[in-house]
Each structure stands twice: as structure tokens, then as C-alpha cells.
Structure 1
């Protein structure tokens, strides 16, 4: 258990330079029993996550440095102090994970979403910035007092602010220093005429102005009863056959396994990220909403990837099927960026190609797509509604060849 008391410091350090400690030595550790307990925790963590000798030694060395500069022996370590170790080249990210698991981390870092919000909203008038900041803090933390507000993830907040910011800056340039002075005519004047830009901007403004009105920060919601319109429809396009062959027959086991699961069974990036090793049983993949009978080429490539995974991380504690260099020392899933980087293209493009091929092969039967891939009727109609478009058949004939297509399940 970390110490709950705090040792007051008469002269708090304004900044630490750990390179001086490397040159002249660090102070003696005042809590040897805490150092021994943390050393045992490092050994256990390194064994469970199959860390190399250099990484394990770096963790132990980093903890000893933190203990030597700690003002309250046995207390939680500040994340800002841990980040100072980057100048000494120890494994900072595994050290933060280890301290968090031991409940020995006091995360005093400023969240990235806060820095992003401050940078994007810089230059807005002070009253408007204060109202927008009140909305930001409300959505980031949520509220249990009436009217209750559900906390939103940072990516949602970024999307809403990005959509609404052009309108906010336009109003600021027109001399409006507060959202209270925005009227319905101002909203109609700034909105694009139609399509996705209009839908996105109006959605962002509504998600900002409506909670502010409910909290009585502004008096009215000027976006009420404003017609939104429909977003501009996008047309899924097939992927060229040679690109499918290249990614499917790649020598890298992670790339081939990811490509096979998408090309044959149209898995999404979210489904790939959430896959666990226990979801593969008896030649089937058990997704949360449906089981999938894996095609033979997929089984071969997934088996090759499992051999690669067991050789690369033989005793990793991560339960997810796909593991990266970063997540091999933890339990979190890989990111969407990692999946796209490994594939060398967007996973969405491969998935759209598979769904488009199925729609063409079944003559535009939406029920088959819904049953095979778990799509909604509206999602299936997006693919079945374009198979007769001129140009698509010519495109497929021009790129015809023995492409790796799955047999019906």
C-alpha cells in the first residue's frame, strides 16, 4: 500500500535535471523495504510479459532513480517525474504501466484532449471561450446532477469541436463575443447549402448549444427546428486484384492474417481489435453477435500468425489475438492506426471490396449480405444498390483474374 501522508518540502525544486545525477550520482534510497518490494514486482512483471534483460534492468534502474528523488518515501510516484527519465533512455511506457498496476502512480499529466482543445479554441472571444470551455468540461467528465450528462470519449469531443469551429470563428469575426447573441438566422447564414458539410456542422453546433441551453448558460438553442438534410452518399469501390493478391500472399504473418480475415469475412477494424485468442475454436471465429466458419485460406494464415505470435511473445499476458510491439507488454488491444499500417492500406477499403463482391455475386440480395456479415438492411442496400451502375462491370472485367475470393459459407 502506498503511503498516504505527504512530506512537505521547504524549497520545492523548480525543475530536475537527471543527467546531473548520472554524472555525480543520485542520493541514497530512504526506503529500502519499498525498493525491495518494487524490485520483486519488476521481476514478476518482466517474467509475465517476457521482457528482455535490458528492459527489465531499465525498469529496475528507473524505479531506483525515482525512489532516490522522491520527497515522501513510499508514496505514489508522479507521472511527471517518471517522464523525466526519458533523458536517461529507460523504458518509460512499461514503467508507467507497471506503476499503474501497482497503484503507485499519481497521474498528474495534462490529458492530450485538453491541450488539443486549448490550441484549437485559441483566439476566440473570452465570453464565447468560457461558454465553450464549460461545455468541454461537462462532456469530458459528465454530470450526475440534473440534467444529467453522459461523459463522452475524447475522439467524439474532437469531432464535434472540429465540425462547429468554422461557424464559431465566423461569428467571432462578425463581432459576436458570446454564444448568447447567436440567432437562428446566424445559424442558417453560416451553414453550407446541403450534403455532408451541412450535416456535420449542424450536428456539431447542436451538440454544443443544446447542453449549454439545458444548463442555462445560454437562453435559447438557435439550432432548434433547423432542417439538417441528408449527408452526401459515398459509393464503395472495388480494390484492384493485384493489390488483393499482394496483401493476401505477403510473407509477414500479421499482414497476411489481417488481410485474410477482412478479404474473406469482411471483419471491421473494431472486430479485429477486439478479437481474443479464445475466440478461435474448431475452425470457427466466435464474434459477439455471430459465429463465422473460417475459410481454409484464412485458417492457414491465422495458424501461421499464431506460430509467429507464440514465438515472438511466448508468455505475454495480452489476451487479444493481434499484438504489437507496444501492446505485447500490456493487455490493451492494438489501435486502428496499427492495423492500417500493417495492411499498407485502409481496412475499410478491403472490407468494402468484399461486400461489393458478395452483392455482385448474389445478384443484389441484401438478405444474404445481412446473414453472412451481420450488416443492417440499410448497410446492405448501400452495396446492392450500385451493382448495376455503368462502369462497375467494366472495371471488374478490366481487372479480371484469379483473385482470391471465398466460397459461400
Structure 2
């Protein structure tokens, strides 16, 4: 039963079920009330209460009849329940909210009936890719409108491509732990797009998206099956192209062309050049855009830029902004000189200099307490624990696998480094694993942290919702919690770089920087204590 831990238990005002509710009614009674074309408010024949009734009886009486029908041991629960309604006495057996849809434990090796008492549908028959044959070349490639597909009259279940697609969808769903509703939606989507499919046809994203969105079917799940079949074509414009067009807008051709070639080479790679992380490309262009726009107003080509222009641009900035601009300019001109766009590098001889790191301070306890109070879900508590106790970065948290957690031996592997699990971490991990197993019992995702979107696949979560929503606007972030944990270790165990590198797996330079930071904090604390001691009066205070 999925519920919010902040709500106290209560009784549903309709069916009297007891549990943690999201409102005044349980989820089942909310659906019962929304289906007003079948249920009308009237006096119940069984219990005499004025409620929304279906076929003369309220939902409480239907639950009582269903329970007695199941106790009879016969499979037709819904049909037999109608006979028990006339035998309902003056009492009702109350129940817990949400227990009607839970799977529960079973001792039988296989359930031949679903929750409604109907026989389970057998899996689709095995099918393979239809044999290739001669394909008539199309004269015109006209897009199809799947939104006009009529499922009642146009469905062709005998199409071999559709049979193969349904078989693949069943295999992928079993492997990824798709829920029953997801499997039904994917099957419905495949019927729409593959009923008239023939050899040589492709299904484009622009054709698939409107039809699936209109029926509230997951486009990603249907596209996953079509990709496995080899008939899907993603014709969407890449987000990088739209971003690149916006960033290069306003530049002259002589500056735009080398900048575009430089950005594409970083993004996609090139001869003797490995592709860089997309965030690196975005940061470089963000540092350069204003400077390139200024130069575009005076020059027609990048080769006209001189060293004085570079120094003039750097003189307007200080600190990390100056260093970031110079690093980006050096990368741009190095690429332009390598490809023959410019003849000399105007940034040559200009030094970046040592990056001035600020003295990191410990977090206030009040800020930490507010962040702890915001962690109200098992996933949020897991993320907070990994950052605040084990100093894990956001990327390392997203990449954690179930195999990295060894509760029996109390070992946790983060970013390739194994560390012991304390009692608090063990409690948080046990809570999250129990919630994960209850919430997504059939998921095949090997990652430790999953959500509603990633549970149907095998990849990591795209973002951490707790950091994006709950910590927004607060003084505490996951990065500051990580830094605070490392400073705490340095202050508690002494500013030893070797100890910090061994505990957290830090780079030697980073470990030295944290040790120097901790040493400066210790000196400041000693000075404050000495100052406080000198201010205190010595001897008895005069009367």
C-alpha cells in the first residue's frame, strides 16, 4: 500500500477501510466515485447507508460479498459475488485500505487466474522476423497519420510483423519488469502502427508521437520495441543542434565557422580527438559567447584578433571568470591553428595562473537540520545519507548498482572504492531496499537508485529529484554536504592528506587542498578560543 509517511492512519468515509489515505477516501473509493455513469447515489440494499451504489449495493457490501465468494474457493469470484449479496447479514467484515490490490503470498507454484478471477491470458505465440523478399521501391515517401487509426475495424492481428512485434514486446517486458498496464499499452500501440506494416516500411518518431500521446501510451516503450525490430527512425532534431544555432546566432561568418567546427569536434570527436562531455562543450561556449559577439562587431574573421584584444577581454574579468575565459580561448585558437583557420595563436604567452581557492567553511547545524527535515521519502534519505556520510558525488550516487551494496558483510562500494557501512547507513539502506522491492517488485534495473521512469528500463536516473526540488533555495546542497563531510574528517582525524586520500579516494592535490583548508580552520578556532579566554576577567569580579 503506497502512502505518505507524514499522514496519520484514518478511516475511509465511504467503505470504512482503515489505512494511511491521501485524503478523506481511499484510492479505490475515489475511482468508484469518479465512475458516476455506472454508480449513482442511493440507499444501499445491503447495509441501508446512502452511498454511491452499483447494481443496488455500495462498495462495502461488494467487498463483503467478494470476500465470501473467495472463501468458497471457486474461480469465478465476480460472478459468485452477486449470489452472496443477497446473503449479506447485519454485519460487515472491515478491511485495510489498499489490501485488495496487493499480491500477497501464495503457496501455489503458478496462478492460473488473475485478481479478477478470470483465466490468465497465455503469452503470445513465438514469432520471428518475416522472411525478406523483393521490395517495391516507393515513388513518394508520404508520412502516415496514425491518429486516424480505428482499432475496431482496422486492426490486422494476422500481420506477421505485428505478431513479431508483440512477441518481442513480451520478451522485453519480462526482462525489464514491465507492469501489466504497461504491457497492455505497448501491445495496443503496436497494433496501431504495425497492422498495415510491410517489408521496407519504417515508423518515424514524428508519426508515432501524436498517436501515442493522444492515447496516453508511453512513446519510449513502444519505440524500444520498434528499435529492437529495426523499423524505427528517430527523425527528431537533436537538442545540440538547436542549442548550437542559438549560441552562434549573431556571429560573423569568419568567427562562426571556426567556432562551430571547434564545438562539433569537441562534441562528436575527430581525427586524433576524443569526444568530450556535453557539459564541457556548453561551459566553453557560455564563457566565450559575449566575447565573440564583441569581436564580431569589429572583425570579419577570427584571424584578425590580436593578443591585445585577448588581454582587453581578460582585464574586465577577475577570479574564476577570467581563468575560464582564457582556458576557453586557448582551446578555440589551438583548434583553429591546428585546422588552418588562423596563422598564429593570440593567447600564446598569456598564463592562466593558479586558481585561487576560497576557504571552505563548515555548514551551520540549522541548515543541516532543515535539509534533514526535507528528506521525507526513502529515496531522499538515501541520497542525503550517501552525500553527508560517505561524501558521494551526484554522479556516483546515480551510478551505484545493487551489487555495490553488501549488507551481510556491511560493505559499500562507491566509485570503485569499498568502505564499511555504519549502523545508520545500514538502517537507511535497508529501508530503501524494502521500499524499492515493494514499489517495483518486477523491475530489472540493476541500479540502486531508481524512480518511476527508470524502473521500466536498465539505465540510471537522469536527475536526483530530492536535490532538484526539496533542496532548491536552501543553503545546503549535495555538493556542500560532501565537502562538509570531508572537512569534518580532516578536523576530527587531523589535516593529513594521506588519510583523506585513503578514506575518500581523493586526488593527491585535492587531498592536500582539503588538509590545508582544515589546518586554516583549526588555527582560526584556536585564535577565537584564545581571544575569548583573554576577554574573560581574571580573579573575583569587584563589587
**TM-score normalised by L of structure 2:** 0.65
Cα gap change, 1:176 to 1:68, in 2 (>3 Å): farther
Checking the alignment, whether the CA contact within 8 Å between 2:169 and 2:186 is kept in structure 1 is yes
Secondary structure at the aligned position of 2:389 is classed as: helix
Question: 1:87 & 1:5 partners in 2: Cα distance?
Answer: 35
Checking the alignment, whether the CA contact within 8 Å between 2:445 and 2:459 is kept in structure 1 is yes
Q: Any stretches of 5+ residues in structure 1 without a counterpart?
A: 398-409
* 1:374 correspondence with 2:505: yes
Q: Answer with 107-116 or 374-383: which moved more.
A: 374-383
Q: CA deviation at 1:359?
A: 1.8
* 1:231 correspondence with 2:358: no
Question: 1:223 & 1:314 partners in 2: Cα distance?
Answer: 58
Question: Which of 316, 319, 328 is 1:204 aligned to?
Answer: 328
Secondary structure at the aligned position of 1:63 is classed as: helix
* 1:362 correspondence with 2:493: yes
For 1:80, the equivalent position in structure 2 comes to 206
Question: Which of 295, 298, 312 is 1:189 aligned to?
Answer: 312
Question: 1:260 & 1:293 partners in 2: Cα distance?
Answer: 14
* 1:94 correspondence with 2:218: no
Checking the alignment, whether the CA contact within 8 Å between 1:199 and 1:228 is kept in structure 2 is yes
Cα gap change, 1:134 to 1:199, in 2 (>3 Å): same
Aligned pairs (5 A) from 1:391-402? 393=525
Question: 1:89 & 1:211 partners in 2: Cα distance?
Answer: 47
Secondary structure at the aligned position of 2:412 is classed as: strand
* 1:258 correspondence with 2:389: no
Checking the alignment, whether the CA contact within 8 Å between 1:18 and 1:87 is kept in structure 2 is no
Question: 1:69 & 1:243 partners in 2: Cα distance?
Answer: 60
Cα gap change, 1:119 to 1:239, in 2 (>3 Å): same
Higher Rg? 2
Secondary structure at the aligned position of 1:291 is classed as: strand
Question: Which of 424, 435, 455 is 1:308 aligned to?
Answer: 435
Secondary structure at the aligned position of 1:266 is classed as: coil
Cα gap change, 1:288 to 1:265, in 2 (>3 Å): closer
For 1:150, the equivalent position in structure 2 comes to 274
Checking the alignment, whether the CA contact within 8 Å between 2:146 and 2:193 is kept in structure 1 is no
Q: CA deviation at 1:322?
A: 0.8
Aligned pairs (5 A) from 1:93-112? 93-112=220-239
Question: 2:509 & 2:202 partners in 1: Cα distance?
Answer: 52
Q: CA deviation at 1:12?
A: 3.8
Write the deviation string for residues 352-388 of structure 1: whole angstroms up to 9, x where unpaired: 1111211222232333222211112322233333344
Checking the alignment, whether the CA contact within 8 Å between 1:355 and 1:383 is kept in structure 2 is yes
For 2:400, the equivalent position in structure 1 comes to 275
Bigger RCO (CA 8 Å, 6+ sep): 1
Q: CA deviation at 1:268?
A: 1.4
Q: Any stretches of 5+ residues in structure 2 without a counterpart?
A: 1-128, 530-543
Aligned pairs (5 A) from 1:155-166? 155-166=279-290
Checking the alignment, whether the CA contact within 8 Å between 1:80 and 1:108 is kept in structure 2 is yes
Write the deviation string for residues 69-108 of structure 1: whole angstroms up to 9, x where unpaired: 75x5464432333333324321012223333344443233
Checking the alignment, whether the CA contact within 8 Å between 2:326 and 2:352 is kept in structure 1 is yes
Cα gap change, 1:28 to 1:218, in 2 (>3 Å): farther
Secondary structure at the aligned position of 1:55 is classed as: helix
Secondary structure at the aligned position of 1:292 is classed as: strand
More helix by share: 1
Root-mean-square deviation (CA, aligned residues, Å) is 3.1
* Aligned residue pairs, count: 389
Checking the alignment, whether the CA contact within 8 Å between 1:284 and 1:294 is kept in structure 2 is yes
Question: 1:170 & 1:26 partners in 2: Cα distance?
Answer: 63
